[in-house]
Structures are given as C-alpha cells and as structure tokens.
Amino acid sequence: MKITADTKICMIIGDPVEHSLSPQIHNAGYESLGIDGEYVYIASHVETPKLADFIKGMRAIKIRGVAVKAPHKITIMQYLDEIDETAQKIGAVNTIVNNEGILRGYNTDWMGVVSPLEKRTTLKDKAVALIGAGGAARAASYGITRKGAKLNIFNRTIEKATELANEFGGNAYSLQDLNEIKNMDIVINSTSIGLPPFENKVPVSSEYINQKQIIYDLTYILHGKTLFIDQAEKKRAITITGAEMLLAQGFAQFKLFTNHDAPEEAMRKALI
C-alpha cells in the first residue's frame, strides 16, 4: 500500500455507479506508471439532490478529478467554475478537474467515439449513420462533424433526430428509413438497444450491414458482446465494441487528471 497523506483522490460519481469498472482501469494505470502513491481512484454513488453537497465536498477535501456518469452530466454543469469550449458545445460534462480550487468541466466522451474509429479509418468525408439522438449521440455528433465526416442521424423520435442534425449539421431519418444504412461507411449505435431488457434486439437489422462497413456499438456489456456486434461479425464487417469507447474516453480523463499519457495497454488489460 503506497497511499500516504499526499495521495490525490480521483473518482467516478453516478447513480448507479456500483458496476463501474473505472476504479480498476485507472488504478491499474497508476500502478503501471508507478504513480499509485500519488493518485488513487475510487467510486461513489451520488444521487442528484446531493450533487451540490458533493461539489462542496470536492472543494473542501481537494479531490483532484471526477468522472461524471449518468444522470449527472448536464446537471453538474451549474456547479462548476469553468466549462471548456468543447463541453459547452456538446452541452454536457463527463470530467471535472480541480486546479488549485478552480473546478473546470470537460467532455471526453466525443474522443471515446472518435479515437477508436480513427485507429481504423480516416473520418473525413465518410458517411456515418448514428442511431439514437440522446446524450451519447450529442457527443458522437460533435466528434463526427468535428472530424469532417457526414452525419446521418436515425432515431425512433424523428423530432429529436432533426434537432440534433440541425444543431451539428447533418441529415435526420426515422427508424423507418433504415434502408439508407446500406450506403453508409460507418454505423454507430448510441441507443440502449443491446442492454437488458433489450439484449435480444438490434438497432439495425443485419440485412442493411455489409463487409465494407465499420460497425461501432457504444453500448457496453461486461461479458460477451451485443447481438448487433455478433451479427455484424457474421457479415464480416469491421466491429468496435463499447469497451473501446469506455477505454478511449478514460484515456483522455487519465491525462487530464494526472498530466501523464495513459498507459493504454495496462488499462485495457485491467478491463478485459
């Protein structure tokens, strides 16, 4: 045990948070860099009515960094001193850094979407189908358009797709228009389809998927893979699982909290 009176605390908060793997992932990163006496990473279940108190506590005990999970990514913003420009554009904060008492909010979710894709392709001018128009889709929309790809949003509630497409620049479709997916280079699922109770459903039927496409399911399940990924593999598409999103957004958080580049392999090993 290397923890001392000087150890800085980083943590994840959410409701729920009990199943979060971030403590294992980040602590494994600290250990691999030999900074596990300098930093420790914990998790705390914080309910929405307690967010203001949490922020007071963060200031009082000088917590260095906080990863913010659902449902707090929007509500937390009002309590911070500064919001970085990207987080402002996305309209959500998933990372707080405490710099000598100044709390600044960031968003690394968009990098969680973009960097696993950029390891496989260049995004510029690619046609991207984004399924869903909720919170995760906002970060994805920002990242996709920032990298110069063409955004096509498909959502059950077409109004929400239209709103997002107007804000970030792109086309909106309902789930009746899934035939269009055939022409897309990249398909990203940002809905919760694939998670219980929808584990036997897919966001896009495999008849629209082909081997030229990259299929990225932001939905993460601990053991195994989503049905969408399973079907895409059978179609010989290039697949990316939600584990990549979780890791990539965490790598960016690691850098913000510690100023060290994330030891990616050690952190990946801790997750898998």
Residues forming the site for ligand ATR (CB under 6 A): 70, 132-137, 155-157, 160, 190-193, 198
3-state secondary structure of 190: coil
Q: Is 73 a catalytic residue?
A: yes
Helical segments of 34-150, H only: 51-60, 85-90, 109-118, 135-146
Residue closer to ligand ATR, measured from CB, 50 or 160: 160
CB of 6 to ligand ATR, least distance (A): 37
> Residue 246 CB, nearest distance to ligand ATR (Å)?
13
Q: Are 76 and 51 in contact (CB under 8 A)?
A: yes
- CA distances in angstroms from 49 to 20, 31, 71, 76, listed in the order given: 21, 35, 12, 11
Distance CA 81, CA 137 (A): 26
Residue nearest to ligand ATR (CB): 134
Minimum CB separation from ligand ATR for residue 46, in Å?
A: 17
From the list 8, 50, 73, 160, the catalytic residue is 73
Spatial neighbors of 252 by CB under 8 A, at least 6 apart, are 95, 108, 111, 112, 262
Q: Side chain identity at 263, as an amino acid letter?
A: P
Q: Least CB distance from residue 205 to ligand ATR, whole Å?
A: 13
Amino acid at 58: M
Rounded to a whole number of angstroms, the minimum distance from the CB of residue 137 to ligand ATR is 6
Distances (CA, A) of 95 to 72, 194, 209: 11, 26, 34
Which CB, 42 or 74, lies closer to ligand ATR? 74
Residue 45 to residues 12, 208, 271: CA-CA distances in angstroms? 9, 40, 20
Asked whether the beta carbons of 107 and 243 are under 8 A apart, the reply is: no
Residue 50's contacts (CB-CB under 8 Å, 6 or more residues apart) are none
Q: How far is the CB of 160 from ligand ATR (least distance, A)?
A: 4
Residues 19, 23: Cα–Cα separation, whole Å:
10
Q: For residues 143 and 97, what is the distance between their CA atoms, to the nearest angstrom?
A: 21
Identify which of residues 160 and 260 has a Cβ nearer to ligand ATR in the complex.
Answer: 160
List, by residue number, the catalytic residues: 73
